[in-house]
Amino acid sequence: MSSWSDETPDDRAWRPASGLSRAARQAEQDLAAGGAPERLIPIGDGAEAKASIELRRLPKSRRIYSYLRWYQSGRTQVRYIGEVAETDRAANLASAWTQVKECGLGTYACASGDRPTTVRKKAGSSWASSDAVRASMRGNKGRDTKPELMLRSAVHALGLRFRVNYRPIKSSRRTADIAFTKLKVAVFLDGCFWHGCAQHHRQAKTNADFWATKIEGNRTRDAETDRLLAAEGWVTLRVWEHEDPKAAADRVAEIVRSRRPLPSVRPSPSSP
């Protein structure tokens, strides 16, 4: 998962445009959620409420936080969702709704200091707009996913030591899943859905244009990240989540070892 750089995020990444009518605000939320029906959340006893996403940047903070809001029992309910780190408000709203939909599949833990909240879905219902999106949400945690843990374990078993969730360029919020800082090797483990794997990516059936634009944006960002790191002397390696972790670890080890300096050879003493 990305996090904000040392620069304060632009207001356009979280603040709603001024003068928006109520209808326009509702339409903004509908688009981000993938349609008005996707905003309905179960609140118990078979009842549902239409929720919205609120984005906040706390004073002196350089991060944007998302919250789920809905009206229930005469009061406005608010639940913390998580951080978002896109560069525009529409993308951050969509990112937050993706996290909410993932939460609807089970129990999610809020950030440190917030009490975990359980959201249960109705039997036979789904928050996701398609089977492809739903499947990707189940496996999308942002960090410490099962494929990441398996890759780390395989790399560690080869005797290599590394940093995790590391920002190679401090002025950028691009985060490598595995980094060898002295050798400048950055490893990214890419999800098949979110990064457009040619072998396994399946286009969403609902809100297809939105998701296609989102995935293409991720691929463009990946290519830009590789260029930025290369300009700073880093070598990047991208591993798909479907790859065998041991084979991927061997690729990582090969690059790491190729970057190590050759041992110096001392001249042999002269014969008497």
199 found inside a domain: yes
DSSP secondary structure string for all residues of 165-191: EE-SSTTS---EEEEETTTTEEEEEE-
Distance CA 134, CA 93 (A): 18
> pLDDT-derived band of residue 103, with 50, 70 and 90 as boundaries?
low
Distance CA 241, CA 22 (A): 41
**259: Cα within 13 Å, side-chain hemisphere:** 17
Highest mean pLDDT among 68-82, 120-134, 190-204, 231-245: 231-245
Provide the pLDDT for residue 118: 35
User: Judging by beta carbons within 10 Å of its beta carbon (0-12, 13-18, 19+), is residue 49 exposed, middle or buried?
Assistant: middle
For 132-160, what is the mean pLDDT? 73
The lowest-confidence range among 6-15, 111-120, 132-141, 210-219 is: 111-120
More confident residue, 255 or 122: 255
Q: Convert the pLDDT of each residue in 37-72 to its tens digit.
A: 888 888 777 788 899 999 998 777 778 899 999 988
Do 115 and 217 belong to one domain?
A: no
Helix or strand holding residue 78 (H, E): strand 75-84
For 25-41, what is the mean pLDDT? 88
Do 102 and 162 belong to one domain?
A: no
For 139-151, what is the mean pLDDT? 71
Do 111 and 206 belong to one domain?
A: no
Residue type, position 120, single letter: R
Residue type, position 112, single letter: S
38 found inside a domain: yes
Do 33 and 106 belong to one domain?
A: yes
**Residue 192 neighbours by CB distance under 10 Å:** 20
Provide the pLDDT for residue 121: 38
Do 35 and 122 belong to one domain?
A: yes
Distance CA 189, CA 251 (A): 13
Kind of pairing between the strands at 176-180 and 40-44: unpaired
Given 127, 162, 194, the domain boundary residue is: 127
Instruction: For the chain, give the mean pLDDT.
Output: 78
Residues in the chain: 272
| Cα 48 → chain centroid | 28
Do 112 and 176 belong to one domain?
A: no
56 found inside a domain: yes
121 found inside a domain: yes
What's this model's pTM, rounded to 2 decimal places? 0.51
The lowest-confidence range among 72-81, 84-93, 95-104, 223-232 is: 95-104
Provide the pLDDT for residue 102: 64
* Domain range for 51: 11-127
For 264-269, what is the mean pLDDT? 64
Tokens of 22: 């109520």
> pLDDT-derived band of residue 205, with 50, 70 and 90 as boundaries?
low
155 found inside a domain: yes
> pLDDT-derived band of residue 35, with 50, 70 and 90 as boundaries?
confident
More confident residue, 182 or 213: 182
Check: CB of residue 3 under 8 Å from CB of residue 173: yes
CB-based contacts of 175, cutoff 8 Å, min separation 6: 1, 2, 3, 165, 166, 167
Structural domain tally of the chain? 2
Do 152 and 255 belong to one domain?
A: yes
**246: Cα within 13 Å, side-chain hemisphere:** 0
Using DSSP's 3-state secondary structure scheme, residue 258 falls into: helix
Do 247 and 170 belong to one domain?
A: yes
219 found inside a domain: yes
141 found inside a domain: no
The lowest-confidence range among 94-103, 150-159, 166-175, 216-225 is: 94-103
Handedness of CA 26, 32, 37, 42 (dihedral sign): negative
Check: CB of residue 259 under 8 Å from CB of residue 237: no
Do 253 and 166 belong to one domain?
A: yes
Say yes or no to pLDDT of 150 above 80.
yes
